Structures are given as structure tokens and as C-alpha cells.
Amino acid sequence: MYDIIIVGAGPIGLYGATLGSLHNLNGLIIEASSTVGGQLTSLYPEKDIIDLPSFNKIKAKDFIAKLFEQYQSKKNRFPLKIEEKVCDIKKKNDYYLVITDKDQYESKTIVLATGMGTFSPRPIGLENESKLKNILYSCKDVKIFNNKDVVILGGGDSAVDLSLLIKPLSKSTTIIHRREEFRAQSSSVDEMYIQKINVLKNKSIISIDQINNQSLQIKLKDNSTKNEKIIIADYILVQYGQIPSQDNFPIEKNNNLIKIYDYYQTSLENIFACGNIITYPGKVKNLTTGLGEISTIITKIDQIINPTKNIPIHF
């Protein structure tokens, strides 16, 4: 019987296991993918994170490496189950049965830190999209863009940050956004203009055609004037976000996000959730927010497991 089972070994799940060890709780982390780190590992390992305390910037893969090193350093660290998907959660008296595709486990509490969960990239939506070469949905090695004409589709942090990462290597970097205003951090957007990245706003993709073994022809339409324009690219990097898979957990949700109550508890007693999987008024989706949420959760779980224990509010 575990004190805690953490579902998800992304940055917040890893940090939760470290905190659980510091509280002398016993637990388990279950991760559906083959690696830890969530999207920071699988999609954006080369991306610079610029909004973490004490780091001017740090690559996503390096931040995950530091979190994992910290997790491994704890003598009472939680065992990690990789490539094991949680399929169901069932209430059993005063504990929960967590059923995976490989085994089942008993735990007094559960923390859902799955972020986007298992996911697939949101495509452009063109009929011939899957047949076109050099359309990418993640950036694992920026070196492939060396001396290439690169077009990035999107207007959020990932699109803007990747444009800044790719610009020094590429022959040209163009970012195409469907709207007039970017959703990325203001400082990053400002830097994008300072670096003279070619910015095409308020544009829609009409079509993309393969014109030779390497190059792609992109036809754009201005959403205001309806004027059309054609540009050529060696690579297109699509950053329209991710489509999360659906789970069957019997937990109250709002638009596929988990509703939480006091101490980030879900609609089921002793099941908690944190990070990008949850919703509440004022929720900010960034790493520091999620790390704070898991800290509150682990402290609360310690109080549940050890009701007479004098638990410090800091270490």
C-alpha cells in the first residue's frame, strides 16, 4: 500500500516525488511514455525556458535533467514505472486501486500530474498534409534548420520561442500567425522583432504544395484584405498546440480540464490534480505555478497520512 501514486513524470510529477521523499512518504510514479519530462522532453528539448526563478534561461532538456537528478538523489525516492498507462481508478474502502495496462497498485492518495497527458499535435488541417515532406510538429534537433528557409506556424510561446532559437541557424525564419495579437510572452515577442524575424500576422493557410524533393510552396490569405501571397520554405514547423487524449477517470471536469477544490483536491476525496490538467479561476499555465501547486498537495497529503505529525510549512 502506497501513501501516494503520482500519475505523470513530467516536471511537476518529478518534483512531487522529490517533495514526497522529503516528507518521508512512500510512493510510486507512473508514466505512460518512454521518457520523463513530458512535453519538455518529447516536443521541445532544445527550447529555452526563460521564466524560472534563478535561471536567465535554461534549455528544457537541461531543466528536466536537473529535476531528474534531484529526484534520484533522494534515498527514499519513489520507484518510477515507465511506459505504463493508467487505465482506471477504483475506490476501495479507504484507499484506491490504480489499474494500469501492466499491473495494479493500491494507494491511500493519488496525484494527477499528467499535463496534456498522452497527446497528438494539432495539424494544419489540409487534406494533403500527411503526404508532404518536411512538415514538422516538434523540434528535437535545431541543427536540421541550418541554412534553411524555415516557416513556423503559430502565435503562442512555443512558436515565438522556437523562432528565436532557429533564427541564428537558418537562412530565413518566418512566423505566420492567424491572428493580429500574439499570445506569447511580451518580452519574447519584442525580441522576435528585434531579431528581425519575418512576421506575417492575420494570415490563413490556403494550401501547401510540394514543389521539389525539399521545398514547399505555401499559399497565404490575408484575413482582412483577402489578398493572397506565396512563400517558399524548406521546413514548416507547426505549433498549433496539442490534442490531449481522453481518460475515463470518474472525476468532475470542465471542458476536459479537471475541476479542483481546496488544496487542489478533485471531486473525489484524496485524489488531487495539478499543472495544466486542472482549471480554476485565475489559473496560470506555467511551470512555476504547477510546482507551487504540487508543493501544497504533498504537504496536504502528509497531513492526511500523518494527522498527528507536526509538519513544517517549509524545509
Interval 144-193: pLDDT, tens: 999 999 999 999 988 999 999 999 999 999 999 999 999 988 999 999 99
Residue 185's pLDDT is what? 87
Residue 297 has pLDDT above 70, yes or no: yes
Average pLDDT over residues 253-270: 92
Same domain, 115 and 261: yes
Let me know whether 61 and 85 are in one domain. Answer: yes
Same domain, 230 and 259: no
Are 6 and 115 in a shared domain?
yes
| pLDDT score of 134 more than 70 | yes
Please report whether residue 314 resides in a domain.
no
Examine residue 312 and state whether it is found in any structural domain, yes or no. Answer: no
pLDDT per residue over 54-90, tens digit each?
Answer: 888 898 999 999 999 999 998 777 999 999 999 999 9
Mean pLDDT across 117-141: 85
Cβ neighbours, 10 Å, residue 167? 19
Give mean pLDDT, residues 30-41: 89
Q: Give the rounded percent of residues in the chain with a pLDDT score beyond 90.
A: 71
Domain count of the fold of the chain: 2
Residue 255 pLDDT more than 60?
A: yes
**Residue 310 falls within a domain, yes or no?**
no
Is 313 part of a structural domain of the chain? Answer: no
Cα–Cα distance measured from residue 173 to residue 106, given in angstroms and rounded to the nearest whole number:
51
Same domain, 221 and 268: no
Greater confidence, 108 or 277?
A: 108
Residue 19 is predicted with a pLDDT of 95
Spatial distance between the Cα atoms of 292 and 288, rounded to a whole number of angstroms: 6
Host domain of residue 272: 2-119+242-305
Residues 104-126 have pLDDT tens digits of: 999 999 999 988 665 678 899 99
- SS3 of residue 13 by DSSP: helix
Among 238, 256, 279, identify where a domain stops. Answer: 238
Buried (b) or exposed (e) across 26-59, using 16+ Cβ within 10 A?
Answer: bbbbbbbbeebbbbbbebbbbbbbbeeeeeeebb
Query: Taking a C-beta distance cutoff of 8 angstroms, is the pair 24, 76 a contact?
Result: yes
Residues 163 and 58 in one domain: no
Does residue 264 sit in the same domain as residue 209?
A: no
Confidence of residue 45 (pLDDT cuts 50, 70, 90): confident
109 shares a domain with 257: yes
Which of 182, 206, 238 delimits the end of a domain?
A: 238
pTM for the model stands at 0.75
| Residue 315 in this model has a pLDDT that exceeds 60 | no
Place of cell 513530467: 10
- What's the whole-number mean pLDDT along residues 230-244? 90
Query: Is pLDDT at 42 greater than 70 in this prediction?
Result: yes
CA distance from start to end of the chain:
26
Question: Which residue, of 238, 258, 275, is where some domain finishes?
Answer: 238
Residue 27 is assigned to a structural domain of this protein: yes
pLDDT (mean) for 283-304: 94
Check which CATH number belongs to the domain holding 202 and give it. 3.50.50.60
Domain identity same for 247 and 274: yes
Let me know whether 288 and 211 are in one domain. no
| 96-131 per-residue burial string, b: 16 or more CB within 10 A, e: under 16 | bebebeeeebebbbbbbbbbbbebeeeebeeeeeee
Is 71 contained in some domain? yes
